[in-house]
Amino acid sequence: MGKERDNMFLDVKGLSISYGDIRAVQNVNFYMEKGELISIIGANGAGKTTIINSLMGLVPVQSGTIIFKGQDITKMPAHKRARIGIRIVPERSRVFPRLTVYENLLTGMYGMKNKVSPEKSILQLYEIFPILKERKNQLASTLSGGEQQQLAIARALVSEPELLLVDEVSTGLMPKLTQEVFSVLETLNKEHQLTILLVEQNAFVSLEISTRGYVLETGQCVLEGPATFLMDNTRIKEVYLGH
Amino acid sequence: MITIGTLIAIQAIAVCGLNVIVGYAGQISLGHAAFFGIGAYTAALFATKAGLSFWASLPIVIAISALIGLLLGLPSIRVREDFLAITTIGINFIVEAIFRYVPFFGGALGIGGIPKIAFYGVRLKGISFFILCLVFLFLVIGLCYWLKKSWASLACYAIREEEQAASTLGISPVKFKLLAFVIGTAIAGIGGSLYAHYMQFISAGDFSFPISVGFLSMLVLGGMGTLWGPVLGTLILGILPEIFRPLVDYRILLYTILLLIMIRFQPGGLLGEGSAMRRIFEPLLRVKR
Ligand SMILES: Nc1ncnc2c1ncn2[C@@H]1O[C@H](COP(=O)(O)OP(=O)(O)O)[C@@H](O)[C@H]1O
Ligand SMILES: [Mg+2]
Low-confidence stretches of chain B (pLDDT beneath 50): 286-289
For B77, phi then psi, to 5°, come to: -70, -25
Are the Cβ atoms of B165 and A83 closer than 8 angstroms? no
Q: Report how far residue B137's alpha carbon sits from residue B14's, in angstroms, rounded to the nearest whole number.
A: 9
Coil, strand, or helix at residue B232? helix
On whether any CB of chain A is under 8 Å from the CB of B52, the answer is no
* Structural domain count of chain A: 1
Report chain B residues whose CB lies below 8 A from the CB of A96. 157-158, 161-162, 165
Does residue A15 lie within any of the structural domains?
yes
Question: For the structural domain made of B2-251, what CATH number should be given?
Answer: 1.10.3470
DSSP conformation letters of A29-82: EEEE-TT-EEEEEE-TTSSHHHHHHHHHTSS--SEEEEEETTEE-TT--HHHHH
Q: What is the CB < 6 Å shell around ligand 1?
A: A 19, 22, 24, 42, 44-50
The ranges of chain A with pLDDT < 50 are 1-2
Asked if residue A46 is part of any domain, the answer here is yes
Whether residue A155 is contained in a domain is answered as no
Which chain A residue's Cα is nearest to B174?
Answer: A79
Q: Between chains, do A107 and B166 touch, taking CB under 8 Å as contact?
A: yes
- CA pair distance B272, A76, nearest whole angstrom: 37
Collect residues with CB below 5 Å from ion ligand 2: A 48-49
Closest CA to B214 of B83, B43, B29: B29
Q: What pLDDT is attached to residue A28?
A: 96
CATH code assigned at A81: 3.40.50.300
In a domain, A154, yes or no: no
Assess if residue A203 is contained within a domain: yes
Quick check: is A5 in a domain?
Answer: no
What pLDDT does A120 receive? Answer: 75
DSSP code at position B202: B
pLDDT tens, residue by residue, B152-183: 667 777 887 788 888 898 888 888 888 889 99
Q: Whole-angstrom Cα distance, residue B208 to residue B95?
A: 9
pLDDT recorded at residue B287? 44
Please enumerate in sequence order all residues whose Cβ is within 8 A of that of A73, keeping only pairs 6 or more positions apart, or say none: A57, A66, A67, A81, A84
3-state secondary structure of A212: strand
Task: Write out the DSSP string of B243-273.
Answer: HSGGGGGGHHHHHHHHHHHHHHH-TT-TTST
Inside any domain, residue A150: no
Distance from CA of A87 to the nearest CA of B (A): 7
Q: pLDDT digits over A179-231, tens only?
A: 888 998 999 999 889 999 999 988 888 998 999 999 999 999 999 999 888 88
C-alpha R_g of chain B: 18
The ipTM value here is 0.82
Mutation target vs A (from B169, B172, B178; most A CBs, 10 A cutoff): B169
Q: Give residue A63's domain range.
A: 10-94+161-239
A47 vs B: CB within 8 A: no
CB B191 within 8 A of CB B11: yes
How many whole angstroms separate alpha carbon B230 and alpha carbon B11? 9
pTM, whole model, 2 decimals? 0.78
Say if A139 falls within a structural domain. no
In the prediction, which pLDDT does B38 show? 95
